[in-house]
Amino acid sequence: MTQLILEQGLNGLQFGLMLFLLAAGLTLVFGIMDMVNLAHGSLYMVGAYIAAAVTQRGGSFALAVGVSIVATAAIGALLEVAVLRRLYKRDHLSQVLATFALILIANDAVRMIWGNQPVMLATPEALSGPVELGGFVYPAYRLLIVAVGIAAAGLLYWLVTRTRLGMRVRAGASNREMARAMGVNVRLLFTLVFAIGTGMCALAGALLGPLLAVQAGMGENILILTFVVIVVGGIGSVRGALVGSLLVGVADTLGRALLPALLREVFRLDAASSLGPALASLLIYALMAAI
């Protein structure tokens, strides 16, 4: 049981860090731009597809991740300039409807380009095996995801708190009009923030591609958890997004792994197997309601 808890705890850490890559961009966009962007998960999907396309054409996994980040960030910047910029002064309902339309467009676009069948993104051969950790083995690739997630979180925190760009981002988040009066190019700032957020989406999509099916619509389910994260962590807070992501990731993973085993002591095997994951999902929303 101890080994199971440790293994699932690492899985929860890995999942939480990937949620952070999504939630950090979303919370910055909502906190600074006051923009509800339901298409955030679609950019995560696009990043995964681009990474898969690069590897299928013979590119290395590292190249695929890099190309995915740059290409998706460019798509995000273009999307912000061409579409989202016109929605900033609209109410949130209009933003929700417009970005929901973008979800439908993105899903149809990837189906037209890559087809309806899931696309495979292979695990790097050097990381396909396990690593021994204190008496139990754990997939090396998942450890890479944890390491990259920690590095990305540290880099983003440094960018927001220790750089001139971060100072402008924080100024725009606290008082947009004052920042504009102080000479900050708010339009350019919004585009940069959106590009950074979409680049982080692409990183999450590329890293999770070998673990999940890369397919149309893959961004919708994880988007729901991402919104839970920013509610738990606080809108506009990068530090809160990290804390919320880890709480949600660990709670969801441990709940799905341990609750079915506990429920088998009370219910039949088939009932426990179906009830456990459902209760784990409810646990996440209970956490959001409590906070």
For residue 291, being part of any structural domain is answered with no
Residue whose tokens read 């988007």: 223
Q: Determine the structural domain holding residue 160 and report its residue range.
A: 2-218
pLDDT at 55: 92
Q: What does the DSSP assignment read for 215-235? A: -TTHHHHHHHHHHHHHHHH-T
- Residue 214 is classified by DSSP as B
- What's at 156, amino acid-wise? L
Q: Structural domain tally of the chain?
A: 1
Residue whose tokens read 């993105």: 106
Position 105 confidence tier, pLDDT thresholds 50, 70, 90:
very high
Position 5 confidence tier, pLDDT thresholds 50, 70, 90:
confident
pLDDT at 290: 73
**pLDDT tops 70 at residue 272:** no
| Percent with pLDDT over 70 in the chain | 94
Position 181 confidence tier, pLDDT thresholds 50, 70, 90:
confident
Angle at CA 63, nearest 5°, toward 57 and 67? 90
Q: How many residues does the chain have?
A: 291
Q: 279: Cβ–Cβ under 8 A, 6 or more apart, which residues?
A: 255, 259, 263
pLDDT in tens, 184-240: 788 888 899 899 999 999 999 999 999 888 999 898 888 888 988 888 888 778 888
What sign does the dihedral 186-97-243-143 (CA atoms) show? negative
For residue 267, being part of any structural domain is answered with no
The C-alpha atoms of residue 243 and residue 220 are separated, in whole angstroms, by 22
For residue 64, being part of any structural domain is answered with yes
For residue 244, being part of any structural domain is answered with no
Least confident range of 9-18, 70-79, 159-168, 257-266:
257-266
Distance from the first to the final alpha carbon of the chain: 30
- Helix segments in 83-139, DSSP class H: 92-114
Closest Cα to residue 122, out of 58, 170, 191? 58
pLDDT at 171: 75
For residue 209, being part of any structural domain is answered with yes
The C-alpha atoms of residue 273 and residue 278 are separated, in whole angstroms, by 9
Position 24 confidence tier, pLDDT thresholds 50, 70, 90:
confident
For residue 226, being part of any structural domain is answered with no
Q: Note the Cα 48 to chain centre separation in Å.
A: 12
What pairs with residue 119 in β-bridges? 214
What pairs with residue 136 in β-bridges? 133
For residue 126, being part of any structural domain is answered with yes
Mean pLDDT, the chain, as a whole number?
86
Position 159 confidence tier, pLDDT thresholds 50, 70, 90:
confident
For residue 259, being part of any structural domain is answered with no
Arithmetic mean of pLDDT, 95-113? 93
The two most distant CA atoms of the chain are separated, in Å, by 66
Closest Cα to residue 68, out of 93, 89, 49? 49
Position 42 confidence tier, pLDDT thresholds 50, 70, 90:
very high
Helix axes 164-174, 140-162, angle to 10 degrees: 70
**Of 161 and 78, the one with more pLDDT:** 78
Contact call for residues 98 and 194 (beta carbons, < 8 A) = no
The C-alpha atoms of residue 233 and residue 287 are separated, in whole angstroms, by 11
pTM: predicted TM-score of the whole model, two decimal places:
0.90
